């Protein structure tokens, strides 16, 4: 392990906490932090490289760092207060990576020069752009390499609890706009400028212009991560429970049970929550008792409809180490659990959403990567992470319940990654399911309220203030291009009215004042 201490991003001390044949560390003193990090990363790709503000030297949790950087594809960092971009980027990024939960290991591309750690192989071969500081540099690495498999986290355990508050580096003005222009996309720089004008009454045209000029002399950080995670052998005592909520898809459930029966890791328990499709119809699954199954089947029958209710009912009966949340109209390939668990354990991860495609649909991703999504019908999660997590009934019969569930996991410090293989086949059954047409109090015969209050609820719960405002402006432009060209003033008035109504209903859903439910009685 190599530790670089710096003051105002100038190296003040380098400690080699390992037996390495090195030149004197004095050669690095006074140089730019990012420059030294790149040089050492290239020289020692198999070493953990740590950077830390000199004022925090006594608070650096050195003993724990080897266990915090769990593999060579991780980058961890921590910022004591605030945000490297002054929360400006919240206007243009609508993912759960933005509203960082400080008290847990939180998946985010937002890094900091305050303290952090990464294996040298991630930095090897990168070049430092002219005119950028270390705060920019570390964020550019994570922003560009996260989609290609670099796992990035804010990790509070890098520092001991007694760490003092210090003045931390923050990007300003043109540096923010250069970051957006170079590392995200030019269109978002223009949009950020508009957001700051509307919401902050701030004229940032000068900063935008400087960013455009400087961008002519720089390129995005592009790098192929040389290492790929290798799935670990799965311990024979691994146990899996499968949760299947279903409504009117008996044939598809039977096919899924046959797939589970043929797995190399056979589930210990399959929990089926059958919801009655018609009044007094009773259970439509005689095959549960007529056929022999190599696993315990916990069959729960309910007259109440709703995927959130059904999944929560099933979660009460989870007992195994892992839980597979399954849709009722999917098919699983052979060795499914062996492959998925092997990949997750190789990266010390506890949750993964697995590729779920229609027949003939092609997978667009190649690498395991952190994701903003969560699939309620195609995800494997460590059961201990589910003890305090439930599907919010406020989303019942609407949308975003799975995104909310994933956000709850992340807020507990449980990362969710996307696995591009193995691939689940989604049959998209033409019958049954939970998307039956419902009557909502916010809709009228001639007008479905947009945005939907359940989607609005997700934004309201999980977005920062600037995210919420930026997203509102983006939705406005999206709707305007479809509906507002003929009567712009009338459209603006209607948009604001609908937005306020949707938010009001979202708040009623959140408080429990309003619930949407359906029961066969």
Question: What distance, in Å, lies between the first and last C-alpha atoms of the chain?
Answer: 65
The answer on 403 and 285 residing in a single domain is: yes
pTM of the model: 0.95
* pLDDT of 17 over the 80 cut: no
The answer on 376 and 482 residing in a single domain is: no
Of 147, 171, 195, the domain-final residue: 171
Give the H/E segment covering residue 241.
strand 240-246
The answer on 477 and 410 residing in a single domain is: no
Cβ burial 363-392 (10 Å sphere, 16+ → b, else e):
eeeebbbbbbebbbbbbbbbbebbeebebb
Contact indicator for 240, 323 with CB cutoff of 8 Å: yes
**Residue 215 falls inside a structural domain:** no
The answer on 466 and 399 residing in a single domain is: no
Of 113, 142, 171, the domain-final residue: 171
The answer on 271 and 159 residing in a single domain is: no
DSSP, residue by residue, 305-368? --HHHHHHHHHTT--SSEEEEE-SSEE--TTHHHHHHHHHHHTT-SEEEEEEE-TTPPP---S-
Angle at 325 (CA atoms; ends 454, 151), nearest 5 degrees: 85
The answer on 344 and 286 residing in a single domain is: yes
Question: How far apart, in whole angstroms, are the C-alpha atoms of residue 55 and residue 65?
Answer: 18
The answer on 145 and 27 residing in a single domain is: yes
User: Per-residue pLDDT averaged across 311-315, rounded?
Assistant: 98
Q: What is the pLDDT of residue 223?
A: 58
Q: What is the pLDDT of residue 279?
A: 77
CATH of residue 374:
3.90.550.10
* pLDDT of 82 over the 90 cut: yes
**Residue 396 falls inside a structural domain:** yes
Residue 38, SS3? helix
Q: What is the pLDDT of residue 221?
A: 62
**Residue 310 falls inside a structural domain:** yes
Question: How far apart, in whole angstroms, are the C-alpha atoms of residue 521 and residue 500?
Answer: 35
* pLDDT of 252 over the 90 cut: yes
Residue 432: pLDDT band with limits 50, 70, 90: confident
User: Per-residue pLDDT averaged across 346-364, rounded?
Assistant: 97
Q: What is the pLDDT of residue 216?
A: 62
Percent of the chain with pLDDT over 70: 95
The number of angstroms, rounded, from the C-alpha of 475 to the middle of its chain's C-alpha atoms is 21
Question: How far apart, in whole angstroms, are the C-alpha atoms of residue 137 and residue 460?
Answer: 32
The answer on 248 and 162 residing in a single domain is: no
**Residue 262 falls inside a structural domain:** yes
The answer on 251 and 108 residing in a single domain is: no
**Residue 216 falls inside a structural domain:** no
**Residue 141 falls inside a structural domain:** yes
Q: Is the dihedral of CA 29, 34, 39, 42 positive or negative?
A: positive
Q: What is the pLDDT of residue 231?
A: 77
The answer on 43 and 88 residing in a single domain is: yes
Residue 130: pLDDT band with limits 50, 70, 90: confident
The answer on 133 and 17 residing in a single domain is: yes
Q: What is the pLDDT of residue 431?
A: 80
pLDDT (tens digit per residue) in 146-197: 999 999 999 999 999 999 999 999 999 999 999 999 999 999 999 999 999 9
User: Per-residue pLDDT averaged across 277-301, rounded?
Assistant: 92
CATH of residue 92:
3.90.550
Q: What is the pLDDT of residue 502?
A: 98
Instruction: Determine if the peptide bond prior to 110 is cis (ω within 30°).
Output: no
Strands 322-326 and 330-331: unpaired
Residue 278: pLDDT band with limits 50, 70, 90: confident
Domain range for 17 is: 2-171
Residue 446: pLDDT band with limits 50, 70, 90: confident
Angle at 421 (CA atoms; ends 419, 426), nearest 5 degrees: 95
Q: What is the pLDDT of residue 132?
A: 81
Contact indicator for 24, 62 with CB cutoff of 8 Å: no
**Residue 49 falls inside a structural domain:** yes
The answer on 417 and 460 residing in a single domain is: no
- What residues form DSSP beta bridges with 118? 49, 75
pLDDT (tens digit per residue) in 454-498: 999 999 999 999 999 999 999 999 999 988 888 999 999 999 999
| C-alpha pair distances (Å), 6 with each of 22, 32, 491 | 20, 9, 54
Number of separate domains in the chain: 3
Q: What is the pLDDT of residue 236?
A: 79
Residue 245, SS3? strand
435 CB contacts (<8 Å, ≥6 apart)? none
Q: Of 332 and 429, which is predicted with more confidence?
A: 332
Contact indicator for 391, 405 with CB cutoff of 8 Å: yes
Q: What is the pLDDT of residue 521?
A: 64
The number of angstroms, rounded, from the C-alpha of 294 to the middle of its chain's C-alpha atoms is 35
The chain-wide mean pLDDT, for the chain, equals: 93
Residue 20: pLDDT band with limits 50, 70, 90: low
DSSP state for residue 301 in the 8-state scheme: E
Residue 25: pLDDT band with limits 50, 70, 90: confident
Of 391, 426, 461, the domain-final residue: 426
* pLDDT of 232 over the 80 cut: no
| Listed residue (85, 91, 97, 92) closest to 150, CA to CA | 97
pLDDT (tens digit per residue) in 357-415: 999 999 999 999 999 999 999 999 999 999 999 999 999 999 999 999 999 999 999 99
* pLDDT of 103 over the 60 cut: yes
* pLDDT of 356 over the 80 cut: yes
Q: What is the pLDDT of residue 233?
A: 82
* pLDDT of 78 over the 60 cut: yes
Query: Encoding tokens for residue 291?
Result: 């056929």
**Residue 301 falls inside a structural domain:** yes
Q: What is the pLDDT of residue 434?
A: 66
Q: What is the pLDDT of residue 49?
A: 97
């Amino acid at each position: 392990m190599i530790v670089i201490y710096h003051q105002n991003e100038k190296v003040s001390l380098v400690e080699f906490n390992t037996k390495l044949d090195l030149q004197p560390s004095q050669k690095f003193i006074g140089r730019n932090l990012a420059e030294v990090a790149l040089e050492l990363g290239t020289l020692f790709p198999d070493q953990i490289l740590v950077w830390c503000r000199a004022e925090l030297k006594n608070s650096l949790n050195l003993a724990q760092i080897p266990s915090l950087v769990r593999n060579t594809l991780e980058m961890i960092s921590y910022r004591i207060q605030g945000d490297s971009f002054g929360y400006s980027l919240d206007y243009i990024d609508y993912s759960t990576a933005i509203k960082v939960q400080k008290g847990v290991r939180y998946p985010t591309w937002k890094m900091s020069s305050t303290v952090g750690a990464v294996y040298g192989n991630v930095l090897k071969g990168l070049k430092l752009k002219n005119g950028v500081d270390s705060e920019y540099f570390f964020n550019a690495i994570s922003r560009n390499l996260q989609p290609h498999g670099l796992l990035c986290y804010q990790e509070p355990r890098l520092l001991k609890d007694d760490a003092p508050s210090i003045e931390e580096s923050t990007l300003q003005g043109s540096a923010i706009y250069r970051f957006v222009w170079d590392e995200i996309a030019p269109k978002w720089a223009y949009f950020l400028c508009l957001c700051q004008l509307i919401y902050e009454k701030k004229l940032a045209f000068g900063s935008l212009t400087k960013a455009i000029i400087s961008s002519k002399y720089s390129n995005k950080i592009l790098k192929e991560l040389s290492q790929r995670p290798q799935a670990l052998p799965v311990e024979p005592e691994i146990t899996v429970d499968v949760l299947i909520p279903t409504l009117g898809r008996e044939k598809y459930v039977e096919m899924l049970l046959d797939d589970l029966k043929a797995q190399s890791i056979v589930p210990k328990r399959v929990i089926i929550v059958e919801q009655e499709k018609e009044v007094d119809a009773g259970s439509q699954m005689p095959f549960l008792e007529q056929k022999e199954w190599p696993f315990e089947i916990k069959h729960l029958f309910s007259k109440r409809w709703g995927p959130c209710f059904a999944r929560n009912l099933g979660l009460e009966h989870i007992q195994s180490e892992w839980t597979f949340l399954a849709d009722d109209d999917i098919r699983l390939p052979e060795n499914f659990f062996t492959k998925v668990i092997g990949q997750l354990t190789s990266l010390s991860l506890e949750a993964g959403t697995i590729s779920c495609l229609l027949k003939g649909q092609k997978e667009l991703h190649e690498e395991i990567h952190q994701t903003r999504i969560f699939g309620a019908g195609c995800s494997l999660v460590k059961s201990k992470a589910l003890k305090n997590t439930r599907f919010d009934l406020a989303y019942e019969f609407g949308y975003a319940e799975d995104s909310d569930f994933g956000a709850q996991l992340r807020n507990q410090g449980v990362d969710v990654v996307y696995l591009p293989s193995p691939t689940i086949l989604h049959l998209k059954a033409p019958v049954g399911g939970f998307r039956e047409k419902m009557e909502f109090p916010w809709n009228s015969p001639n007008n479905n309220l947009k945005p939907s209050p359940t989607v609005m609820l997700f934004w309201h719960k999980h977005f920062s203030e600037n995210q919420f405002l930026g997203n509102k402006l983006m939705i406005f432009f999206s709707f305007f291009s479809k509906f507002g060209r003929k009567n712009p003033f009338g459209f603006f008035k209607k948009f604001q009215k609908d937005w306020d109504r949707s938010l009001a209903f979202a708040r009623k859903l959140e408080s429990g004042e309003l619930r949407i439910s359906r029961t066969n009685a």
